[in-house]
Structures are given as structure tokens and as C-alpha cells.
Amino acid sequence: MRTLGYADSMTPQRARVPQQAAAIPIRRRGSDLQVCLIRKRLAGSWGIPKGTVDSGHTHASTALNEAWEEAGLRGRLVGDALGTYRYEKYGRPLTVMVFLMEVLEHHKDWIEAGIRERKWVSLEEAGTLLVEHPAHAFLARALQVFPLDA
């Protein structure tokens, strides 16, 4: 995955129609916030659930569905999209719309459990593990939308 750079609402029209959607799954544990990261089993880098927005689906519904399929999580989106990022996959540039998801259910078995692993980490550790991932830029925004002291 090669990051092409951060996009926002002031980008050209093509970048404003993201082909993919992603969720940053977050939950409260006492006074702390935790983020659920995923990766393919035996792969090196951690990321967040994301996938292609199919015809007839919204970005929001896709983000929720990817969190279920890839991480076994059910929840609700909090606020509007945090923003977008671009990356390249198989030589094709893709734009991803990122949402914050409050996790309400954490299932033991899920669709991609055989090929993916998930890990709950502190917001600080998520920042470290995602330092080279485009989602890293959205962690501070996530904290503004989902504050520690709520």
C-alpha cells in the first residue's frame, strides 16, 4: 500500500467521491479509550477495517459492514466522516472515506476470523502502530469527536 497523501473537502471532484469506506472502531474501558486494529494473519502491519463501496450502498453502511466482516464488531457511527485519504493498490489510486465507529458489540466469531486478527489497543498505542498508515492522521480527530471525559 502506497499512500498518495491526505485529501479533504477542497480536493478535485474525483477525490471527493471515495471508492472505499473505513471505520476506526473505538470503545470505552473505564476512563480510557481503546481502538480495535486489524491485520491479515501473519502479516506485519496493522490497519482499520475498510472496503469498497458497492453500488446501492452508502459510505456509512460500508464502513459499518467492513467492521463486522473484518473485525466482528457492531456499532454506530459517531458524527460525520472524519475525512478521506488516498492510497494506491495494484497501481490504481483509491480514495477512502474514514468514519469513527463506537463499538457496541464485540463478537467472538466473525466472517473473516480465519484470515484476520484483531487487537484492542490504547489510543496512544494505536498512534504508534498506525504511524505509517494514513488512518494515523485521524486519531486526533477521533478524540475530538469521542472525548475521553464523556
The whole-model pTM stands at 0.86
Q: What is the CATH number of the domain that holds 111?
A: 3.90.79.10
Q: How confident is the model at residue 13 (pLDDT cuts 50, 70, 90)?
A: very low
89 located within any domain: yes
- Count of domains for the chain: 1
* Cα–Cα nearest to 86, from 13, 14, 11, 15: 15
62 located within any domain: yes
150 located within any domain: no
Domain interval for residue 86: 2-145
Paired sense of beta strands 83-89 and 50-52, if any: unpaired
40 located within any domain: yes
pLDDT at res. 149: 66
The conformational region for residue 30 under phi > 0 = left, psi -120 to 50 = alpha, else beta, is left
